[in-house]
Amino acid sequence: MRKLDGFSAALDREHGIQIGRWSQYDGLPGLPFGAMWCVIPPASASAEDRHPEVELAVVMSGSADLTVAGRRDTGGPGTAFLFEPEEPHVIVNPSTDEPLMVLSIYWMPEEAA
Amino acid sequence: MRKLDGFSAALDREHGIQIGRWSQYDGLPGLPFGAMWCVIPPASASAEDRHPEVELAVVMSGSADLTVAGRRDTGGPGTAFLFEPEEPHVIVNPSTDEPLMVLSIYWMPEEAA
């Protein structure tokens, strides 16, 4: 067993938010996807992102307000959002005091074959 | 974008807990892993499980007390646990009033190559 804790991960500023790529972890078993912790501070937002990978954004803590390809939705812990390739997406943390943490999992569509 | 909500998913009793396999969702893009919501009611536990897949257990809501291959650890939202193939694991919800929700993602080791 290996415990991975997003709150104690090394984070870098990227896309206007704090990103902790799982490539920082040595000795993980092979994963069939890329993964990163995304921490969006209170009352802030990610830059718009868009990429060829499918992305699964799992809301772990706090509350998320997303706009994806012009469509808006919200969700808290217990929800996950799937973005299709090339869908532009922005994630907003509407809270004024609580950070939003999302686990982002992503893969190229052909890797799922 | 597609929103997946573990709290409104169809759940079946399996392994002594409530399981919502993502195979219930029509029209998802291909995923390079299997996925299921696991809801462990207050003051209860999963049966011991053990399988050839690698498993990533993402704690989404509540608090988890795990025993994996004889080692015990705890974690709340913002943590994830990786189980190696064939590691026996039990998940306990120590809370007397809050359900524990975990998103379980699993794959065969050779699929990560």
Supply B95's token pair: 């809370």
Quick check: B103 and A79 CB within 8 A?
no
Find the CB nearest B60 among A78, A82, A83. Answer: A78
Quick check: A28 and B82 CB within 8 A?
yes
**pLDDT tens by residue, A70-104:** 999 999 999 999 999 999 999 999 999 999 999 99
Find the CB nearest B31 among A7, A59, A112. Answer: A112
Q: Is this complex's ipTM strictly greater than 0.90?
A: yes
Quick check: B112 and A2 CB within 8 A?
no
Name residue, tokens 């009352």.
Answer: A43
pLDDT of A8 > 70? The answer is yes
pLDDT of B113 > 80? The answer is no
Provide CB contacts within 8 A for B74, sequence distance 6+: B63, B64, B65, B66, B94
Quick check: A81 and B4 CB within 8 A?
yes
Instruction: Name the CA dihedral angle for B60, B64, B68, B71, rounded to a multiple of 10 degrees.
Output: 130
Residues B64, B46: Cα–Cα separation, whole Å: 11
Asked if A50 and A5 touch (Cβ cutoff 8 Å), the reply is no
Give me the mean pLDDT over the A51-75 stretch.
96
Q: Which pLDDT belongs to residue A113? A: 64
Q: In terms of pLDDT, which residue wins out, B67 or B16?
A: B67
A96: closest CA of chain B, how far (Å): 19
